[in-house]
């Protein structure tokens, strides 16, 4: 399976083409829209979320709600494009308007301008913007529905915001009960996190955090130890690190494994009706392959680099010191990041399952998956 996305933050829309989705998958469009809504939600989001009301439109590959096996094309139209048409229209526009040369530290602005030979950071930031993740969420939800047809489920929650962290551990079944404003599990912790977001907003600053993701029902043997490109943990880390503002990824114990002895890190193996482990410090992946246990992944999101208080920078037009441009932005988008990470993980797992099992139809795929040992 292959997924390609396109589109700019303030362009006409965002688009995805999914090649290799089997025929016979009944798509729940309302579930895709719900995922898009979750991406726009969360305490600390900015004004853009009140303008856009994201909905998916299917342009090809589906008839009567069911996939045909042909390339699937998705669209999420940008409502804000009407306010930006004179600046962004591909047919012709006024490129002098909304020009950005006071490049923002921590963003793609300066590096992108130098790489692509641009004199206006807008030609870079429009694609680098996290607005792009709306279409990734839509595509990822298609992949999630494919995985769900096999009995594989994905869930997650926000583990920390800024300095406020929830150190408790939760069972997969509990994750559906996360509170709504920040996607955290403990309302008391969430209240402290909201207070920290308020303080950051008052200071014109931003906050990041950590998301934890889980996968339940994935059988063993997906991924491979034979080449590094096939390792499942490497592929998942790549997908998660590709999400805007993510600066670190952990699998299982992650960095904590480096501080423990081997006897406190490796999961001992037992045999009953199936092989199993009483602990899951490896996070469900050993030797680059799923081992049948729950996948446990975490991602660290840095604070958004667009600050209302502005950071010191250089104006690339004049070469003089300047204050970074305050593009419309969020104070905290960790809740949205968690939703995007679920989509990124779903895309990798759907691809890995199809690579191993193949099948032109969902029925074929489900039959092959069902015959794998637990």
For residues 59-79, give the mean pLDDT. 98
For residues 34-40, give the mean pLDDT. 95
- Quote the tokens at residue 278: 């009483």
pLDDT at 292: 97
Residue 285 neighbours by CB under 8 Å, 6+ apart:
223, 232, 233, 251, 252, 291, 295
Q: What is the CA radius of gyration of the chain?
A: 22
- Report the alpha-carbon distance of residue 184 to residue 32 in Å, rounded: 22
- Report the alpha-carbon distance of residue 65 to residue 367 in Å, rounded: 22
Is the model's pLDDT at 225 over the cut of 60? yes
φ, ψ for residue 113, nearest 5 deg? -60, -40
pLDDT at 74: 98
For residues 84-109, give the mean pLDDT. 96
Cα maximum dimension of the chain: 71
Residue 129 neighbours by CB under 8 Å, 6+ apart:
8, 9, 244
pLDDT in tens, 342-370: 999 999 999 999 999 999 999 999 999 99
For residues 31-38, give the mean pLDDT. 96
Q: What percent of the chain has pLDDT over 90?
A: 93
Mean pLDDT of the chain: 95
DSSP 22: P
- Quote the tokens at residue 366: 């489900």
Closest CA to 308 of 323, 286, 293, 287: 323
pLDDT at 310: 83
- Quote the tokens at residue 324: 């970074």
Is the model's pLDDT at 325 over the cut of 80? no
At residue 310, the 3 state secondary structure works out as: coil
At residue 332, the 3 state secondary structure works out as: strand
DSSP line for 77-143: E-TTHHHHHHHH-TT---TTTT---BPPTTSSHHHHHHHHT-SSTHHHHHHHSGGGHHHHHHHHHHH
Structure confidence at residue 308 as a pLDDT band (50, 70, 90) = confident
Query: What pTM did the predictor assign?
Result: 0.96
Is the model's pLDDT at 326 over the cut of 90? no
For residues 183-195, give the mean pLDDT. 96
For residues 150-171, give the mean pLDDT. 97
Is the model's pLDDT at 317 over the cut of 70? yes
Please, what are the domains in the chain? Answer: 2-370 (3.60.150.10)
Structure confidence at residue 372 as a pLDDT band (50, 70, 90) = very high
pLDDT in tens, 102-115: 999 999 999 999 99
When mean pLDDT is compared across 34-48, 53-67, 82-96, the lowest value belongs to 34-48
Is the model's pLDDT at 338 over the cut of 60? yes
Is the model's pLDDT at 48 over the cut of 70? no
pLDDT at 179: 87
Is the model's pLDDT at 46 over the cut of 90? no
The CB-based long-range contact list for 91-99 (8 Å cut-off, 24+ gap) reads: 95/120, 98/122
pLDDT at 50: 59
Sign of CA dihedral 121, 126, 131, 136: negative
Is the model's pLDDT at 51 over the cut of 80? no
Let me know: does 350 contact 369? Beta carbons within 8 Å: no
Q: What angle do CA 24, 366, 220 make, to 5 degrees?
A: 140
Structure confidence at residue 307 as a pLDDT band (50, 70, 90) = confident
For residues 68-74, give the mean pLDDT. 98
For residues 223-233, give the mean pLDDT. 97
Residue in the structure block whose two tokens are 């690190």: 241
pLDDT at 320: 98
Strand order of the sheet with strand 57-60? Answer: 2-7, 13-19, 72-77, 57-60
DSSP line for 210-279: EEEEEEESPPTT-B-SSSGGG-HHHHHHHHHHTSTTEEEEEETTGGGGGGS-GGGTSPPEEESSSEEES-
Number of CB atoms found within 10 A of residue 116's CB: 9
């Amino acid at each position: 399976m292959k997924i390609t996305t396109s589109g700019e933050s303030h362009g006409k829309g965002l688009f995805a083409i999914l090649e290799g989705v089997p025929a016979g998958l009944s798509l729940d469009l309302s579930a895709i829209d719900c995922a898009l809504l979750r991406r726009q939600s969360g305490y600390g989001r900015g004004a853009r979320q009140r303008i856009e009301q994201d909905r998916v439109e299917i342009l090809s590959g589906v008839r009567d709600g069911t996939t045909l096996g042909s390339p699937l094309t998705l669209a999420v139209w940008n409502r804000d494009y009407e306010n930006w048409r004179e600046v962004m229209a591909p047919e012709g526009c006024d490129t002098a308007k909304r020009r950005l040369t006071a490049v923002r530290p921590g963003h793609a602005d300066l590096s992108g301008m130098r790489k692509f030979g641009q004199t206006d950071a807008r030609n870079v930031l429009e694609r680098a913007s996290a607005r792009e993740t709306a279409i990734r969420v839509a595509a990822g939800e298609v992949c999630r529905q494919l995985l769900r047809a096999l009995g594989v489920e994905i869930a997650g929650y926000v583990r920390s915001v800024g300095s406020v962290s929830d150190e408790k551990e939760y069972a997969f079944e509990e994750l559906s009960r996360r509170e709504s404003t920040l996607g955290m599990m403990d309302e008391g912790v969430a209240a402290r996190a909201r207070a920290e977001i308020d303080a950051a907003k008052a200071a014109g600053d931003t906050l990041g955090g950590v998301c934890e993701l889980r996968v339940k029902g994935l059988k063993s043997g997906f991924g491979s130890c034979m080449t590094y490109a096939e390792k499942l943990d490497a592929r998942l880390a790549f997908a998660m690190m590709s999400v805007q503002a993510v600066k670190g990824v952990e699998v299982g114990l992650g960095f904590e494994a480096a501080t423990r002895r081997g006897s406190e890190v490796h999961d001992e193996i037992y045999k009953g009706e199936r092989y199993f482990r009483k602990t899951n410090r490896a996070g469900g992946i050993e030797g680059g392959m799923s081992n049948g246990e729950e996948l446990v992944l975490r991602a660290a999101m840095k604070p958004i680099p667009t600050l209302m208080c502005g950071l010191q920078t250089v104006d690339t037009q004049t070469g003089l010191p300047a204050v970074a441009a305050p593009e419309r932005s969020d104070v905290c988008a960790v809740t949205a990041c968690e939703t995007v990470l679920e989509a990124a993980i779903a895309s990798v797992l759907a691809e890995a399952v199809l690579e191993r099992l193949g099948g032109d139809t969902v029925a074929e795929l489900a039959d092959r998956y069902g015959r794998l040992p637990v």
